[in-house]
Amino acid sequence: MAMKSSDYCASAREAVSVIAQLPVAMAVLNGATLVFTFFGGLFSVLCCAAVTFLLTSTPSFSAPDAPLFVDQPVAVACAAGFIGGAVSLCFMAVFDMATDALLYYYGLDWLYGRGGEFSNAPDGIKELMHGNRH
């Protein structure tokens, strides 16, 4: 839409036609980003919670007479895990959109005859669409 100054309906039709002509590549990419999103978010939650729990278990936070005493380190670790997971999901949403856009524009170039060996797309995207022949 912004690249060609087309109206919304024409751009939507073009996007659907590009996606419809690349179903396998889109399915593989969406599956891969789903796996990255799930495990990346899980890793972030676990790391944030574990580091927070370890830090709140030190004498600076666990001694009852300490000025920074934490009464319930598990609750603080759960909150840190939740915050870390929320930040991770925001990043993963941007990552998912970026990979979809990269594949879409490479597919658009390929369908209009501007792709192939002279394309600036990463080799991984070329292999995803064409196997080992690009």
Quote the pTM value: 0.71
Tens-digit pLDDT profile for residues 95-130 = 999 988 888 887 887 777 766 566 666 777 777 766
Parse the chain into domains and list their residue ranges: 23-130
How far, in Å, are 22, 42, 46, 54 from residue 79 at the CA level? 41, 14, 11, 14
Measured from the Cβ of residue 48, the count of other Cβ atoms closer than 10 Å reads 21
Read off the pLDDT of residues 27-51 as tens digits, 9 standing for 90 and up: 888 899 999 999 999 999 999 999 9
